[in-house]
Amino acid sequence: MPDFIYLASQSPRRSQLLTQIGIRHELLLPDAHEDAEALEAIKPGEAPAAYVKRVTGLKLDAAVARLKRRGLPAAPVLCSDTTVALGRTIYGKPDHADDARRMLGELAGHTHRVLTAVAVQHGKKRLEALSDSRVTFCALTPGRIRAYVASGEPTGKAGAYAVQGLAATFIERIGGSYSGIMGLPVFETAALLRQLGFKC
């Protein structure tokens, strides 16, 4: 059994969380010609949980193919994807500052879901899990939203915010997995890796 895994994610938070639970890992990032963003396209009428699980599976397929193409040593490959949902509306990464302001304005004063899917593949064996958390934002003035977006923190974040950053001042209540909201649910991830023989 390998003593490390490949993490197919550019998120420094996911890497930090794996390190936190003692999992040695190497990054397996997309090649320049790979269109990783295209994998995140939402299908019409797609439910948030189905969406995030499908996207995670597609990312894992791409990562496993990448591993073979590069001829790297065999080891488990882990992928994760996070989405924010208010009702059936899916909030991905904002396209620009106006988009981030719109998202935060719609989430303000409401409770939304944060869904993070995790999938790991070793050989032909694929294991999956889903973390479903609730986050309640306080009411936000346009000025607070503008200031937060100007900080640059919403860039590249599902729902246009980072729970571990400045947005913590917006959050009245959390139910579920804090690490899942960050982008990698530690409880579920550790359970999957233990099934492959890792000690977390």
* Contact in structure between 62 and 34 (CB atoms under 8 Å): yes
In the chain, the amino acid numbered 93 is K
d(CA 24, CA 3) in angstroms, rounded, equals 7
81 is catalytic: yes
- Distant-in-sequence, close-in-space partners of 83: CB < 8 Å, separation ≥ 6: 48, 51, 52, 55, 90, 91, 92, 114, 115, 116, 158, 159
Q: Which of 3, 31, 61, 81 is catalytic?
A: 81
Query: What is the C-alpha to C-alpha distance for residues 67 and 78, in angstroms, rounded to an integer?
Result: 12
Residue type, 8: A
Catalytically annotated residues = 81
